Amino acid sequence: MKRILCAVLAALTVITASFTAGCAAPETPAQSTEDTSVVTELDDGLPDLRFDGQVFRIAVGNGHMSQGDIYTEGHETGDPLHDAVFRRNAAVCDRFGIKLEINLIEDTIGTVKTSVKAGSDDYDLAFVGMVYGSELAQANLVLPFEKLPFVNLSQPWWDKDIWNGFSIRNNLMMVNGDISPSSFSITSCLYFNKTLFGKLDIEYPYELVRSGKWTLDKMFELTKDASVDLDGDGKISGDSESDRFGLSAWCLDAPYSFYYAAGGMLVYKDADDVPYYEANVERDTLIYNKIYNVVITNNAYFETNIDDFDRVAKTFTDGRALFYDAKLSSAELLREMDDEYGFIPVPKFNEAQTEYKSFVNGGSAMLCVPGSVPEARREFVSIIIEALASEAYRTVTPVLKETYLKRKITRDSDSADMIDYIVRNRVFDMAYINMHLGVGSYVKDLLTERATDVASTLKSYQKASAKKIQHIVKAFDKSLNS
């Protein structure tokens, strides 16, 4: 593919690589041996238009996990997911007669800031990190998706809970969904050791999931006697190379995945979709007590040193943990594991909870449209964004599920069947996104201290959290009125 030098990037003095990637017609691929019958033909309802070679400009982090969501080096490589993204790009280019200009940028957020503040119409779409990317919206630097007429957020290729984390007054500043397979891959889940389940004569939990009975109480029951001192030193310790655990978990994953899976939420919305902070102490106490029982009471290996993530995974791969809390992409760490394993969603609070909910890691990419995109260009921009998302839903996600997750990573068809339970009900909390080092981390802080005083902890955050949310609302209002 021809390399394009983008003068605007030089003006911004950032290191980039810019290519018209994925716009050539792909070679006809060999017939896949995977079952792709799940591909849907759902119509995206976009108009039948041609844009005569117009360029759609995308900014994405160089080396960030989201790079592979859109950048494909302009050719197929034989990797199924990479090639699915390439064909998605090519299909959209061919359908609308456009070219994709994909700019690999070291500091996407800083670059978008500089560009918009300078009034430069440099990018049509940017992939930015979830937690730090939210500052773009607060600084009035991105467009509400409601100003993009052909982005239909009711379609299944957009995360349906995204409104809770990123919408104010029914205006949404950042989105995600099938367009970002890397984001799907860092959705929280729970691995279980099938070999240990067999040795302990425990039935695999797949049917519990399907019947809606996979709950924190059930997990507490299964892990109650699973942590055992096997090195004879009189204690069950994560420092041991022999002790077995009911759960192996890391402090930057498990507190969040369990809390949000149980229906926890820290910021709420009024009838006008205006967020406010109000601690639900009674509910959160009930949730936290169940999490505490699984993690602390049942002697889980809960690693509080953020640098010891690898040891958490190794405890599971060594066959010394019944469960391992992580994310879908963590299955890459389990490839050499001798024992058989599967994965399931993180458990619900109770059977009355209708859906399994999944926490999305803060490193996830989010999509935003720079505020410098002129009104005359927004129809074009919205059509291409919607087309990239809908085509990913039809062609990339099935490959992600059927090839990458199913054939390469999971070792049984039941685990692959669990993917929809995990990725179709992802949760976004404005408190975690904007206050991850404050109220958004309270479960982590309490578990790390082995503490139980939920009421006083949440009360201590009340004033600062309420003020932070008010600041965000004012920033969004400014953006909406611009």
**Whole-number CA gyration radius for the chain:** 23
- pLDDT at position 377: 97
- pLDDT at position 40: 52
C-alpha distances out from residue 46 to 38, 323, 387, 392, Å: 22, 44, 8, 15
- pLDDT at position 121: 95
Of the pLDDT bands very low, low, confident and very high (cuts 50, 70, 90), residue 409 is low
- pLDDT at position 366: 93
- pLDDT at position 413: 75
Q: Largest Cα–Cα distance of the chain, in whole Å?
A: 74
Interior/surface letters 291-310, b for 16+ CB within 10 angstroms, e for the rest: bbbbbeebbbbbbeeeeebe
Element (H, E) at 335: none
**Mean pLDDT lowest among 99-103, 137-141, 218-222, 406-410:** 406-410
Of the pLDDT bands very low, low, confident and very high (cuts 50, 70, 90), residue 138 is confident
- pLDDT at position 401: 83
- pLDDT over 80 at 5, yes or no: no
**Mean pLDDT lowest among 76-90, 242-256, 394-408:** 394-408
- pLDDT over 60 at 22, yes or no: no
- pLDDT at position 87: 97
- pLDDT at position 403: 72
- pLDDT over 70 at 15, yes or no: no
Q: Which residue has the tokens 């655990």?
A: 245
- In the predicted model, what is the mean pLDDT of the chain? 87
**Mean pLDDT lowest among 235-249, 318-332, 395-409, 436-450:** 395-409
Pairing state between β 167-168 and 171-172:
antiparallel
Q: CATH number for the 188-359+434-464 domain, one of 3.30.450.40, 3.40.190.10, 3.10.129.10, 2.40.110.10?
A: 3.40.190.10
- pLDDT at position 313: 95
- pLDDT at position 227: 96
- pLDDT at position 439: 83
The model's pLDDT over 427-480, given as tens digits with 9 standing for 90+, comes to: 998 888 887 777 889 999 999 999 999 999 999 988 989 998 888 888 777 766
- pLDDT over 90 at 69, yes or no: yes
Q: Which residue has the tokens 């989010």?
A: 366
CATH number at 7-31+42-184+363-409: 3.40.190.10
The model's pLDDT over 379-393, given as tens digits with 9 standing for 90+, comes to: 999 999 999 999 999
DSSP for residue 80: H
- pLDDT at position 341: 93
Segments of the chain assigned to CATH 3.40.190.10: 7-31+42-184+363-409, 188-359+434-464
The model's pLDDT over 319-376, given as tens digits with 9 standing for 90+, comes to: 999 999 999 989 888 888 999 999 999 999 999 999 999 999 888 999 999 999 999 9
pLDDT-above-90 percentage for the chain: 65
- pLDDT over 70 at 31, yes or no: no
- pLDDT over 70 at 3, yes or no: no
- pLDDT at position 440: 84
- pLDDT at position 434: 81
Strand partners, 18: 103
Tell me what the mean pLDDT of segment 410-425 comes to: 82
Tell me what the mean pLDDT of segment 214-236 comes to: 95
- pLDDT over 60 at 407, yes or no: yes
- Measured in residues, the chain has a length of 482
The model's pLDDT over 147-188, given as tens digits with 9 standing for 90+, comes to: 999 999 999 999 988 888 888 888 888 999 999 999 988 999
- pLDDT at position 23: 58
Pairing state between β 98-105 and 54-61:
parallel
- pLDDT at position 432: 86
8 A C-beta contact, residue 126 and residue 367? yes
- Top pLDDT among 409 and 365 is at 365
Q: Phi/psi at 338 (nearest 5 deg)? A: -75, -45
